[in-house]
Amino acid sequence: MGVKTTSVFCIATCRARKPKKENVVFYPSFKAALASGFRPCKVCKPTENAAQPPEGVKKAIQLVKDYPKEKVSDERLRKEGISPDLVRRWFKKNYGLTFHSFQRMSRINQAYQELKDGKSATAVAFDSGYESLSGFGYTYKKLLGKAPLKSTNQDMILTSRITTPLGPMLVGATSRGVCLLEFTDRKMLETELRDLQRLLNTRIIVGENQHITQVRSELTEYFQGERQQFDITLDTPGTDFQRMVWHSLQQIPFGSTRSYQQQAEKVGRPRAIRAIASANGHNRISIVIPCHRVIGKDGNLTGYGGGLERKRWLLAFEKEVATK
């Protein structure tokens, strides 16, 4: 619900003082509230809490992290007071896969890291809870595309979920750096994932590495107004022209904007405005490569993969932080 007197929107159970009925307007989603010019409440954090997993799901995920080589069965979940049905529904809705598939990916990622460190396939298989080498090899090849001993030189794209004030984001990273950072409701997300697999000649699997940990920390600092530049390493496959355009986006100062014409002039291609716009649209790393800072020549907001309501919010947020 949006409160007209404060321009803030909340969830219905917010602990803040209740507004008068005539000052309240209801919206079907937080994106609709953002599009109408309302800001997320700092008390109930509607965009963040809407994306947070329920307590039972949090506990289930923690079990996988605490026991990376063990299978967390439905029976184990019930003993912990967790509903397997709740966990299944949440994973299917938010990850597009089952909880057991998530576990398999996590275990195979752990096995992949140990194989790269020189551990034998036999030791890794039985340490990971598999009863036979053939069962381990079948699952491993199905997920990673190669047999265990043939994959140690292959780099994987690890993916994880990040909660932000503008909704959940999907982050992907190779051993070289972050290759994806997008809001989970971006229409082109599946296409971007397929393109990354093709361009990097690799597979995607659920997991985390140091690059994902770092971008999660830096994004938190960014949204708290404590960071204006990102230090994370990026892995951005693309044409030479696209990489030149993406580099130019990173040169736009925090709190500022640039038109497509100005961006084209900056890269020395004053007539390549359409090509510049296309390269911006193929940027797979939101916020860190700030394509949201590019606007129309007349000052109007133009297309943004994360939605114009997010673009408007990001520009207003950065301008406010920059002028403090």
Domain CATH code at residue 315:
1.10.10.10
Q: What pLDDT does 317 receive?
A: 92
Q: Looking at the domain assignment, is residue 234 inside a domain? A: no
Element (H, E) at 309: helix 308-322
Tell me which residue range forms the domain holding 115: 55-150
Q: Considering 150, 169, 196, which residue would you say is the last residue of a domain?
A: 150
Report the predicted TM-score, pTM, of the whole model to 2 decimal places: 0.74
Same-domain pairing of 213 and 279? no
Same-domain pairing of 68 and 143? yes
Same-domain pairing of 62 and 89? yes
Task: Report whether 122 contacts 133 (CB < 8 A).
Answer: yes
Annotated active-site residue in 10, 14, 41, 291 = 291
Same-domain pairing of 61 and 28? no
Verify whether residue 291 is a known catalytic residue: yes
Same-domain pairing of 110 and 71? yes
Q: What pLDDT does 15 receive?
A: 82
Same-domain pairing of 202 and 289? no
How many C-beta atoms lie closer than 10 Å to residue 270's C-beta?
12
Rounded to whole angstroms, how far apart are CA atoms 134 and 154? Answer: 21
Q: Considering 127, 150, 173, which residue would you say is the last residue of a domain?
A: 150
Same-domain pairing of 249 and 275? yes
> Domain holding 39: CATH number?
3.40.10.10
Same-domain pairing of 296 and 259? yes
- pLDDT tens, per residue, the chain with 324 residues: 899 898 888 887 788 888 888 889 888 877 788 878 888 888 888 876 666 678 888 899 888 888 877 888 899 999 999 999 999 988 887 777 788 888 888 888 788 878 877 788 788 787 777 777 888 888 878 777 777 777 767 788 999 888 888 888 999 999 999 999 999 888 888 889 989 999 998 888 888 899 999 999 999 999 999 999 999 999 999 999 999 999 999 999 999 999 999 999 988 988 888 999 999 999 999 999 999 999 988 888 877 778 888 898 899 999 999 987
Place of tokens 């971006």: 186
Q: What pLDDT does 51 receive?
A: 62
Q: Looking at the domain assignment, is residue 130 inside a domain? A: yes
Q: Domain count of the chain?
A: 4
Q: pLDDT (tens digit, 9 = 90+) per residue, 100-141?
A: 888 888 888 788 878 877 788 788 787 777 777 888 888 878
315: nearest Cα among 260, 252, 266: 252
SS3 185: coil
Same-domain pairing of 21 and 107? no
- The HSE-up count of residue 255 (CA atoms within 13 Å, CB side) is 9
**Across-strand partners of 169?**
162, 183
Rounded to whole angstroms, how far apart are CA atoms 124 and 130? Answer: 9
Same-domain pairing of 88 and 173? no
Q: Considering 28, 46, 64, which residue would you say is the last residue of a domain?
A: 46
Same-domain pairing of 138 and 186? no
Q: Looking at the domain assignment, is residue 228 inside a domain? A: no
Per-residue H/E/C for 143-176: HHCCCHHHCCCCCCEEEEEECCCCCCEEEEECCC
Q: What pLDDT does 50 receive?
A: 62
Single-letter amino acid code for the residue at 127: D
Q: Looking at the domain assignment, is residue 231 inside a domain? A: no
Phi, psi of 254 (to 5 degrees): -55, 130
Rg (the chain; Cα; Å): 22
Same-domain pairing of 85 and 33? no
Q: What pLDDT does 258 receive?
A: 93
Question: Dihedral angle at the C-alpha atoms of 9, 13, 14, 16, nearest 10 degrees?
Answer: 120
